[in-house]
Amino acid sequence: MEFSEFDIELVKRAREGSQEAFEELIRRHSRYMFGIAYGLLNTTEDAEEIVQDAFLKAYRNLQSLRDDKLFFSWLCRITLNMSRNRYNWNKIRGKGQNVSINEGVSADNENKGEMELLSDLAQPDKELEKKEIEKFILQAMESLPEIFREPLVLRHIKDLSYKEIADILNLNIDTVKTRISRGRAILASKIKNKI
C-alpha cells in the first residue's frame, strides 16, 4: 500500500487542524476512493457523491482515528460502508440489480468459463477492443455479489495485499483469497458469455 511517511505527516498535520494538509490527502487518495466506490456502484454520480461524503466524514471524525498510519484503511472502510449503503438503497429503489450471493456460476461452470476465457483472451485473433472488454468487465463486476466484488475492487484499484484487504474488510486472509478467486472465476464466466 502506498501510504508513505509523507502521508502520515499529512494526517498528523490535518489532525492538528491544517486544512491544507487534508486537501493534499484528498488530492492523493480521492481517485482511489472514487475507483472503489465506482467499482461497487458503477455510476459516476453516486461514486462522486460517496467520495465527497466519505472525505467529509473522515474530516469530521479525524480526531477519532487511533493511529495516523491507519488513515488509508480507515478511509477505505468509510468509503466501502457508504458505498454498501448506497448500493442497498439503490437496490431497494430498483435502480441496481439484485444479485444473490449464491448466484453466478456453479463450480463446474466457473472452471469451464475460466478455461474458455483464458484460451480466448490468449488468442490474438479473438481479442476484443480494449474498451469493449472494459465495458463488459465493469458491467459484469456490477452484477457480482458484494462479497466477491469488494475484495476484487480493493485488489485491483490499488494493488492491496490480501492482508491489507483482510484488515479493511475484517476478514481472514484465506477468505479474501477464496473470494478474490471466486470473483475472478465468475467474471471470467460472465465475460465469456457476453463475448
Partner 1 sequence: MKEKEKFEKCPDFEVLSAFSDSEIDKESVEYQHIQACPICQKRLDGLKKLNFAISSSLIDVIQGKDIEEKVIKALNYEKKRESFNIENYLQFFLRIAAVFAIFALVIFYFSKLLIKKEENFSSITSKVSSENETKKDSTQTKQKNIQISSKIHDTSITSPLNGFNINDVKSTGTGTEMDFHKVLFDDNKTGSAFIKPVVKHNWIWNEENKQMPIVKQIIEKYGEIQNISENTFYINITKENLVKLVRKIKNFGFKLLSDEEPMPETTIFAGNPDEVVQYCATFICKQ
Q: Which residues of the chain form contacts with partner 1 (CB under 8 A)?
A: 19, 22-23, 26-27, 30-32, 34-35, 38-39, 48, 51-52, 55-56, 59, 110-111, 114-115, 117-119, 121-122, 130, 133-135, 137-138, 141, 152-153, 155-157, 161-162, 177-178, 180-182, 184-185, 187-188, 191
Between 44 and 88, CB nearer to partner 1: 44
Q: Could you give the CA distance from residue 78 to residue 159 in angstroms, rounded to a whole number?
A: 19
Q: How many CA atoms lie within 13 A of 131 on its CB side?
A: 0
Residue 33 or residue 73: which is nearer to partner 1 going by CB?
33
Question: C-beta of 194: minimal distance to partner 1 in Å?
Answer: 12
Which residue, 59 or 90, is less far from partner 1 as judged by CB? 59
Burial 66-91, CB ≥16 within 10 A → b, else e: eebeebbbbbbbbbbebbeebbeebe
Counting beta carbons within 10 angstroms of the beta carbon of residue 120, is it exposed (0 to 12), middle (13 to 18) or buried (19 or more)? middle
Residue closer to partner 1 by CB (options 55, 74) is 55
Q: Which residue has the cell 492538528?
A: 16
- Least distance (Å) between residue 1 CB and partner 1: 14
**In whole angstroms, how close is the CB of 27 to partner 1 at the nearest point?**
5
CB of 135 to partner 1, least distance (A): 8
Rg (C-alpha) for the chain, rounded Å, is 18
Least spacing, CB of residue 162 vs partner 1, in Å:
5
Is 188 in contact with 195 (CB distance < 8 Å)?
A: no
> Which residue, 92 or 118, is less far from partner 1 as judged by CB?
118
Strands (E), the chain: none
User: Closest Cα to residue 41, out of 142, 184, 138, 159?
Assistant: 142
